[in-house]
Structure 1
Amino acid sequence: MFAKAVATGGRRKGKTLPDLEVVRRDVTPSVTDVADYDAVCGFALSNRLPSTYLHVLVFPLQVALMSDEAFPFPLMGSVHLENTITQHRPVLLGETLELRARAENLRPHFRGAQADLIGEVYVGGELVWEGRSTYLFRGRKVEGEVPPKGDEPDAVEGFGATWRLGGDLGRRYAKVSGDVNPIHMNPLAAKALGFPTTIVHGMWSKARMLAAIENRLPDAYEATMSFRKPLLIPSTVSFVAEGERDGGFDLALRNAKKGTEHVRGSVRPLA
């Protein structure tokens, strides 16, 4: 699918999203695959699937959608700006899943166009998980006005955990997630697309941040992460989590030396 996306990306000229949905039924995650994912992302072994692992299951459907020639923008070169996961209840190992993916909400961005890739997971007809990934397609024009930027508070600060990230992290995460975008795996490919070297997958950062507070997460919650400056590897980062009165958290991931903000996010319990 990545090869097809590269081969057809230059021909994408449209300005509307296709009315397509990709569906995969009767999916039962492998215990071994989940354990390998847990090891790379820092989750404890459990009979509960990490909410970010469900994104890993849905991601190939989103790639299939963006690889379709009806999709107006090229997959390669797109930028993952933000991801929101809504877990309605824990999903357990052994449950049989139905996965769905579609695209919606095409709108302008000051650097191009952006759209949301939606993922859904059902168990026996029950919606148990939703994901929304916002992608930027640089240099593309669509109808509408770019909303003005509002004032944004600083991300949380304080004492937290320090993580040293090895240069092979991109390859390790690609192996357990299936996201083989070369900017995460090959320094030359990363340089060709404007990065000094390989960068961490945004969804690894989100997974690792949620894993750090895993034992304090509610059964049902919404977790939103905004991906800021690319996180180069190898590097050392600082993670901070600040608890809120409602049982949620505000989160931040920064470069440990320079203080550069890489990811900020929040977790809020569902009523």
Structure 2
Amino acid sequence: MTKVIELSGPPSLGRVYAKAVATSRGRRGGDLPDVRVVRKGVRVDPAALADYDRVCGFALRDELPATYLHNLAFPLQVSLFADKRYPYPLNGSVHLDNTLTQHRPVLLTEAIDLSVTAGNARPHRRGVQVDITSQAHVAGELVWEGLATYLYRGRRIEGAEPPRAAEGDAPDGPGAVWRLSGDLGRRFSAVSGDINPIHLHPLTAKAMGFPRTIVHGMWSQAAMLAGVESRLSPAYVASMSFRKPVLIPGTVRFVAQVGAPGEATQLALRDRRKDTVLVRGDVRPIS
């Protein structure tokens, strides 16, 4: 029987995050729990949405960016990670991929019911990967879904590693040059609540094995979607693969190859100096 954890309000993310990190050492892997974290009747603060839009580059509108709904669901994810039944440690986990499905635009004025579950634990060449599924309903209607894949390094699980899907070259071209400031991680943390230390200061990032501060993957996905916002369909699927850390301060190049009507738009975020692909993704309209 599914265990339901219902949150009556927004959790203290700092406290929950600290609990998840503090208990990481005792989490050695195993079967995923049949647990669902829910929060009902969520209302969006217009000022908070406006701050988020400014940091990510979205136009100020009364529709929620698909990535902002991930923002609303993220505290539920961390609450799941902090639950003693969850077998994998938050500390050292890596966000590999993120797919967002917007079934229809969600309005600022609507009350949103959110839920989060974990499933599909499977081998990865560097550990175990797990899918975290988030959903948003309005008056019983499924309006948005998120699928976040996390890697837990050094863990093991039975089974064969799934084959990697074949894909062509990432889009390339002149693109738009973005100069990312050293405080971008702190600014996005302020509007997203994601206070992972690797995003906040060079010293804490170095302690986790990075040469300097790295920006949030969800900022990258949001900024890339904002870069093609005028071309987004009312319903779409946006998939991103976070290939390499986006170091800040730094300079990147955003490239978008717009597909034919009804086809996917290919996206890439590249290191301007090395030309390596940092984030790769696409946006596909839903008819």
- Same fold, judged at TM 0.5 (above): yes
Shift of 1:151: 4.3
Task: Give a deviation string over 1:224-271, Cα, whole Å, max 9, x none.
Answer: 000001010000000010011224300000011110111010000112
Q: Aligned residue for 2:272? A: 256
Contact 2:73–2:115 (8 Å) recurs in 1: yes
- Corresponding residue number in structure 2 for 1:147: 162
CA RMSD of aligned residues (A): 0.9
Residue type matched to 1:64 in 2?
S
CA distance in 2, matches of 1:137, 1:12: 11
Which among 40, 44, 65 is matched to residue 25 of structure 1? 40
Q: CA deviation at 1:69?
A: 1.0
1:269 aligns to 2:285 (yes or no) = yes
> Residue type of the partner of 2:40?
R
Paired with 2:278 and 2:110, the residues of 1 have a C-alpha distance of 34
Q: Partner of 2:8 in structure 1?
A: none
Query: Taking every aligned residue pair, what percent have the same amino acid on both sides?
Result: 59
Provide the rounded CA distance (Å) in 2 between the counterparts of 1:241 and 1:85.
Answer: 18
TM-score for both structures, normalised by structure 2? 0.93
Q: Secondary structure at the match of 1:10?
A: helix
Whether the aligned pair in 1 keeps the contact of 2:80 and 2:86 (CA below 8 Å) is: yes
Structure 2: stretches of 5+ with no match in the other structure: 1-15
Partners in 2 of 1:98 and 1:158 — Cα distance?
41
CA contact (8 A) 2:97 2:150 kept: yes
Range that drifts further, 23-32 or 7-16: 7-16
2:50 to 31, 35, 59: 35
Alpha-carbon distance between aligned partners in 1 of 2:54 and 2:166, rounded to the nearest angstrom: 38
Q: 1:150 to 1:87 in 2, by over 3 A?
A: closer
Aligned residues between the structures: 271
User: How far does residue 55 in structure 1 lie from its aligned partner after superposition?
Assistant: 0.2
Partner of 1:223: 238
What is residue 68 of structure 1 aligned with on the other side? 83
**Structure 1 residue 147: Cα displacement:** 2.6
Out of 136, 141, 150, the position equivalent to 1:126 is 141
Structure 2 counterpart of 1:191: 206
Residue 85 (1) aligns with residue 100 (2): yes
The 5-angstrom pairing of residues 43-54 of structure 1 reads 43-54=58-69
- Give the corresponding residue for 2:26: 11
Secondary structure of 2:39's match?
Answer: strand
- The residue type equivalent to 1:165 in the other structure is L
Aligned-pair CA distance for 1:13: 2.4
Q: Which runs of 5+ in 1 are unaligned?
A: none
In the superposition, relative to structure 1, how do residues 149 and 219 fare at CA in structure 2: closer, same or farther (>3 Å)? closer
CA distance in 2, matches of 1:14, 1:49: 36
Q: Deviation string for 1:152-200 (max 9, x for gaps)?
A: 3210111211100000000000000000000000211111111001101
Aligned partner of 1:111: which letter? R
Secondary structure, counterpart of 1:103 in structure 2: strand
Q: Post-superposition shift, 1:2?
A: 1.1
Cα distance in 2, alignment partners of residues 65 and 123 from structure 1:
22
> 130-139 vs 9-18, which deviates more?
9-18
**Cα–Cα, structure 1 residues 150 and 43, in superposed 2: closer, same or farther, change >3 Å?**
closer
